[in-house]
A and B are shown apart, each in its own frame.
Chain A
Amino acid sequence: MSRPDPAAHEPGGRRSAEIQSSLAAPVRLVHRHRPSPLRARSLSLSFPPSLHLGGSVSRAAAAAMADLPPYPPIEPSSFDLVIVGTGLPESMLAAAASAAGKSVLHLDPNPFYGSHFASLSPDDLAGFLGPRPPSPDPAAASGGGDLAAARIDVRSLYSDVEISSFAPEKLEQHSRKFNLDLAGPRVLFCADKAIDAILRSGANQYVEFKSIDASLFYDKGGNLVNVPDSRAAIFKDKSLSLVEKNVLMRFFKLVQQHFSGDGESDRIAEEDLASPFVEFLAKMRLPEKIKLVILYAIAMADYDQEDKEACKVVISTKEGIERLALYHSSVGRFANAVGALIYPIYGQGELAQAFCRRAAVKGCIYVLRMPVIALHMDKESGQYRGVRLGSGQDIFSHKLVLDPSFTVPSSIGSLPQMSLMENVQVKAKVARGICILTSSLRPDVSNFLIVYPPKSLYPEQVTSVRVVQIGGNLAVCPSGMNALTPDLDRDFTSFDVCMATRIY
């Protein structure tokens, strides 16, 4: 979604905002035949041979990982950067660091790529969301010499999980045909910086997108109406009055002029830019209905912008019109995309994998099913030195990136740097749901986004609820079924932590 998600957009912290790719057909929105449903496995085969063909015998690895086949030791044992977790931010970092010529080891304890951004079959999904195995015994990671060991814990990023099935046999029958997004609902604007990053990194070679066919809005009357998001859409719209059409289009033009006009008179005044977007919309005398559409279905505001108390993130006019401009530059960016939004074929998990592939091509070494059980710290300075893997091997590196599901208990001596890790706090939570339907909610389209603005579903609703339905043609579910992933409610607070990636 368009939610500000800087970590996901900027690989290696580099800003790619203004750079438009010059590639003629960068995102091929064509259906691609894929021979094997097991993406992760087939992918790993293409990785550099050093991973699998390491010659020397493991030192004491097999003992700790009884349930896993023994791994040959990783060579070399020293890297510029070790990344644990193959979620989208970590994968982008791996691709960026590898492209910059750094030696990178990318690990994931899971047998698949993507961590919390993976797209999984129902069984794998249930397994991933279910209870975690207990952390390995910290004693196993006792350091030696001048190094101290710090235990790494794994925590669940989900506060509550509920799974129910009304037709288990049907699900079982098609189990391997599902690719359900852990991080859904997520769709991308065609002009999103994330797309620019995909293009610039070359990850677009490994992922293809399809158009989200419709963007719908739940109006006051309880109807789902098309979001009048472009000139053509306004023209065709059946629910707006003629006057509303005029007002909305004029507002679009006003914003367009702000960005493209030459004269000072074309620009929106500075004081307006600093004011809350909702106030600017009121100042422009936009009717209530149009205001809701712009705020929640185009600028994708999360919180009720008119409820000063409940609104945790107030969108400024500057931000609002930038989002509007993003929306508009998305429409028509790619030839096959009918609207502003696209979705990767085979699910969101493809994005993380595409960056991993890109990183692998640049020399990054990948090891899946490889937990990290402890950190090695310099006893004197408290500096990070390396990690101990589940296989028992010690790997040394200058930098370490852990995904947010790992925590390091603070009770490790008096090491000053350790306290940094504890700053991560849960700011907000997101309720997510995935529903598998046997028929589409709308008879005419199968891939669409629905926005339920605040207060539209029940009076206490202070955030907007977004639902994405993805049909069989995007290979996330068997044809004839639809995966519905509603982003139910944010009033429990979102976990920004999950997106943040820390570099030590």
Chain B
Amino acid sequence: MASSKMGVEQRFVAALLGRSTEDELQYTEDLIGNNFSNYSAWHNRSMLLSEILKRKEQESSSQDIISKEYEFVLNALYTDPDDQSGWFYHLWLLDQTFKVKAPLLVSSWPVPGSELIVSGNVSPGDHPLTSFSEFTVALERFPVVLYFNQTVEGVNSSTVTIQCTFVQNEDVTWKPLSPQNSRASKVWVGYLDLSGVDHHSSAPHTIEVKLGHHQGINSSNGLQLSVPFDLSFTVSVKSLETQSSKDEKVAWEEDKFYACETHLQVAIPSLCYDGIAVENTYKPTTSDWQIETITEEISQIRNLLAISDSKIGKITLARLLMAHDAMSSPYATKTVHAEEVLGLYSELMKLDPSHSQYYKDERSLVLLQQLLSSRGMLLRHCFYYGGITSSSTHGPICLRLNNQSISRMGSFDKLLWVQMLDLSDNELHSIEGLEAMQLLHWLNLGRNKLRSFTALGPLRCLKSLKVLNISHNEIGLHSIDTTRYSCSASPLSHNGEIIWNGDEFSPENADVTNYWEAFMVFKSLELTQLDIVGNAVANEKFKSFLLKVLPKLQFLDGQNLH
């Protein structure tokens, strides 16, 4: 606070005196020279340089300036690695160097070129999904998910056009996928109504999605989607078997899962953007200068860590290594440094226990990237679910990331295709970002560290979710849930998606008020199975509330309700 205030005053005075930015920059250099533990001087320097960089039109002169600044700040880092002010400036420099400029589409569902077989409106047990190409979705709400590298706005039917025989482009509404009610998001979904497609003919229908041909998709700093992008895929609708819907309980037991690595390795299509899927479109470009800079910084920080133990140096190295991997492989398909980064975060958790949650979260994200980095790696975590007795064939394919010590979920761009996800026995305290997984049907969050229904907010966007296990978490255990204040899902916030219908619940109004957060999550879901046992909140009163909020529920904590 104080430092930024001083910076503002400094600039104000400088403007009054008519001093040039360059003079001011020299002044900050003198101040830093006298004592480099001077946050305000470093901060002021970053502000002044931003102005200067903005004025530079040639890329190379900006690069020269930034390179000199690296040299300058490294002197501070090496002289006293325990001093944080220099590290903050270093971080700012890294931001300048690797600033993502234009928005870019990094993932989508469906993946370009995929040939999907879709069956709709069935209950989970009836239609076993035997391959990576088969999906169960409500045909009138067939989702197309666009996943960008940064928050964008302006995704609508004029910036994204859908071409297929049975859907009018104008009918498609694009929505930002974010629990917050905002106009911008990294992930957008558009629902196509496929209910008019002939169920009895299995002929594939081609659907083409074109984006970026018209301006309008902007990042928060006003930059346009860099390159137009076309994705086309085919959908064939599988005929419905007219078997009566006989719901079966999904049991998340170990012996119900069968590894599918051996069966399907060859046959699986691209599930996410891994360079092959998007080979013919474009690749994001990284300049030689950026590569050189990051390589140089990595070696400098490595040298420093070899002689000096510095926590902030370790974080910086971890970030640099991940940035390096991301640059050399834009779709995060190569994680050359993942092991080293995981090691760094593990060390940091020990060295700095007061911030171990942060390190654990960062570590989880890296671990997920590593687990999902290649098709081969991914397959190791894919299992057939065999718990459905009425089916003679395989059950749905389940991605199992259970028991990995994950405290935070990430890499959603690789997971858009997943229908059945097992995240049990982890340390999740948040499922932020899960809203991108629009196809999710079955979700196991059992035995994690979720502390509130507010933390389950992202589930509200998962319209396909039918089976949910949140047993053995910490919901209701802590009287004060800090996440609720940072989330918009509260009675005080306005959220267009949830329509308050007082009449519907008028007799139980007291319950709704008591369990407001639970109500906000479950109101928009049509769960058929819920496991909530093992949470402090799960008493009889709450269960009876759940039965009212979830009228389609058939199994609650394993009990058949019918």
Which residues of A come within 8 Å of B, CB atoms?
231-232, 234-237, 242-243, 245-247, 249-250
Contact = CB atoms under 8 A, between A and B. Distances in A.
B78 interface: yes
Contacts of A234: 79
Contact of B308 (A231, A236, A246): A246
B34 interface: yes
Given A232-B34, A232-B35, A250-B308, A242 B303 contact: yes
Interface string B279-306: 0000000000000000000001001100
Given A232-B33, A232-B34, A250-B308, A242 B80 contact: no
B68 to A, nearest CB: 14
A245 B72 CA distance: 13
B307 interface: yes
B265 interface: no
Contacts of B33: 232, 235-236
A246 B300 contact: no
B36 interface: yes
A32 to B, nearest CB: 27
A242 B36 contact: no
A235 B303 contact: no
Nearest to A242: B78
A247 B76 contact: no
B463 to A, nearest CB: 55
Given A245-B79, A249-B80, A235 B36 contact: yes
Interface string B42-79: 00000000000000000000000000000000111011
Contacts of B35: 231-232
A242 B308 contact: no
Given A232-B33, A232-B34, A236-B33, A242 B76 contact: no
Interface of B: 32-36, 74-76, 78-81, 300, 303-304, 307-308
A232 B38 CA distance: 12
Contacts of B307: 243, 246-247, 250
Contacts of A232: 33-36
Given A235-B33, A236-B33, A242-B74, A249 B79 contact: yes
Nearest to B75: A235
Contacts of B81: 246
A263 to B, nearest CB: 17
A326 B448 CA distance: 57
B304 A242 contact: yes
Given A231-B36, A235-B79, A249-B78, 17 more contacts: A231-B79, A232-B34, A232-B35, A232-B36, A235-B32, A235-B33, A235-B75, A236-B33, A242-B74, A242-B75, A242-B300, A243-B78, A243-B303, A246-B78, A246-B307, A247-B307, A249-B79
Contact of A235 (B76, B300, B304, B308): B76
A249 B81 CA distance: 10
Which 7 pairs between the two chains have the least Cβ-Cβ distance?
Answer: A242-B78, A246-B78, A245-B78, A235-B79, A245-B79, A234-B79, A249-B79
A253 to B, nearest CB: 8
A396 B33 CA distance: 61
A269 B100 CA distance: 52
A182 to B, nearest CB: 37
Nearest to B34: A232
12 contacts: A231-B36, A234-B79, A235-B76, A235-B79, A236-B33, A236-B75, A243-B307, A245-B79, A246-B78, A247-B307, A249-B80, A250-B308
Contacts of B78: 242-243, 245-246, 249
B439 to A, nearest CB: 51
Contacts of A231: 35-36, 79-80
In the complex, which of the residues A234, A237, A242, A247 has the most CB atoms of chain B within 10 Å of its own CB atom? A242
Contacts of B304: 242, 246
A242 B75 CA distance: 6
A76 to B, nearest CB: 57
Nearest to A247: B307
B414 to A, nearest CB: 39
Contacts of A246: 78-79, 81, 304, 307-308
Nearest to B74: A242
Contacts of B308: 246, 250
A237 B72 CA distance: 11
Contacts of A242: 74-75, 78, 300, 303-304
Nearest to A248: B79
A242 B80 CA distance: 11
Nearest to A228: B79
A250 B307 CA distance: 10
A494 B398 CA distance: 88
Nearest to B83: A231
A242 B307 CA distance: 11
Contacts of A250: 307-308
A236 B72 CA distance: 9
Contacts of A236: 33, 75
Q: Which of A235, A246, A249 neighbours the largest number of chain B CB atoms within 10 Å of its CB? A: A235
A243 B302 CA distance: 11
B316 to A, nearest CB: 15
A415 to B, nearest CB: 63
Nearest to B71: A242
B78 to A, nearest CB: 4
A250 B78 CA distance: 10
Nearest to B304: A246
Nearest to B310: A246
B226 to A, nearest CB: 37
A503 to B, nearest CB: 47
B87 to A, nearest CB: 14
Nearest to B81: A246
Contacts of B79: 231, 234-235, 245-246, 249
Nearest to A285: B307
A236 B33 CA distance: 6
B83 to A, nearest CB: 9
Nearest to B307: A246
A246 B79 CA distance: 5
A237 B78 CA distance: 12
B301 to A, nearest CB: 11
A231 B78 CA distance: 11
Nearest to B300: A242
Most chain A CB neighbours (cut-off 10 Å) among B35, B78, B303, B304: B78
Nearest to A241: B78
Contacts of B300: 242
Contacts of A235: 32-33, 36, 75-76, 79-80
Nearest to A246: B78
Contacts of A243: 78, 303, 307
B312 to A, nearest CB: 14
A237 B36 CA distance: 13
A172 B362 CA distance: 77
Contacts of A237: 75
Contacts of A245: 75, 78-79
Contacts of B80: 231, 235, 249
Q: Which of B33, B35, B79, B308 has the most CB of A within 10 A?
A: B79
A336 to B, nearest CB: 14
Contacts of B76: 235
Nearest to B76: A235
Contacts of B74: 242
A232 B34 CA distance: 6
A201 to B, nearest CB: 33
A237 B304 CA distance: 17
A10 to B, nearest CB: 35
Contacts of B36: 231-232, 235
A246 B82 CA distance: 11
B528 to A, nearest CB: 62
